[in-house]
Structure 1
Amino acid sequence: MKKLIYGGLFFLALGLFSCDAGDEPSIGGTATQKLSGEWFLQLLDEDNKVVVSYNLFTTSNTAANVATEMWFIDHDVFGAQSKLTVDPNALTFTSTNSPNLDYAEPVVPAGKPVVKLGTSKKVLSATPQTVTITDGKVLKDSFIAPSKTRTDSMYLHITGAYVANTYQASEYKIATVAGKADTTVVWKMTGTAVEPDGPYILRGYRRTGFREDEH
């Protein structure tokens, strides 16, 4: 009888934990713990039309571990890790042209296909050079996730500033490959500018760990 009881309890516990995708990584115990965590946020334009569905974002304390600043990490949408100024009492945050630690320079155009000399191309950086965030706030226990779990919500406006380099086909480079002439284009940078993309709205909820709430 005891074996049957213990066996039943074991499978009951297994069933209870089967719907849980795992605990959210612990980022607590820091100066910004009320605002820190993992979030599923969706990107919307100014008309509240969804541009990108839910993606994972992370907020965490900086190495200084002070209550007035934290990292905002966008894993997939803009591809940015930037520092925020935080009001820990109001649960608000903001940034102005905060440098992106994951910034990637524009790539010089390839030498092929061969184009006419004087041809111009504009190339944007793969990720923003800086990030500006306004109206950032966390609202405690204000969101009902798909699992019916009550959790925190996050809302903010975000603008990424991208570097735009202009290149011009300035000359041809001719080499002999397998006995044949091979022509490639040499591109010369003729200008650079910064182009903002945004503001967009990011909004969503704190990750709960339940499978129903994953994206």
Structure 2
Amino acid sequence: MGWLGAEAWSAILLSLKVSFWATLGALPFGLLAAYALARWRFPGRGLLNGLVHLPLILPPVVTGYLLLLAFGTRGPLGAALAEVGIVFAFRWTGAALAAAIMAFPLMVRAIRLSLEAVDPGLEQASATLGAPPWRVFTTVTLPLILPGILAGAILAFAKAMGEFGATITFVSNIPGQTQTIPSAIYAFLQVPGAEGAALALVAVSVVVALAALALAEVVSRRVARRVSGA
């Protein structure tokens, strides 16, 4: 499309890639955290809840700086991972990590609300028939919370698409490597005469965000109707 230049398209494609892997990577941990907060009672549960929601409270730049300290090439985790060829700092993989962490609370909250809405009696009835816990979860709990999982994943994807502060702090703003849509908008706004390109990316961001919200609502309703047998 002529209204978007090569740099803008590169940012869009990279944002889609980062958001996809951020959502996919966060999903198993989000499901586990949501299940723990909704069903388990253990010492430190309040601390876990606080840590899960911390990215919503902290300034994104602080989150990005903490990631740089931990996963930078000289950080304790980054140095160890670099030994096996896994590098996050100033790479698109780091952008995916930052986006996953910033989107994590939204995903966990959606899944947790679905879990809390499930009648525990249904799971107990299945367990009394001799089904092991893993079978109860996969055949009873998982289908019932599927709307929450899908809604959480879609919202996390949209959040990852719009992540800026933590990403630019952790992986900088390198065109073609770490420059996502928000970073590209920021870069365009620093260049005289590039406001049109920035506005085009703003329009793309708005469309993606609205589409994600609408899709999350539609998917949740359809899956909920299917699960309930309506």
TM-score scaled by structure 1? 0.21
Could you say which structure has the larger radius of gyration?
1
- Identify the structure with the greater helix proportion: 2
- Identify the structure with the greater strand proportion: 1
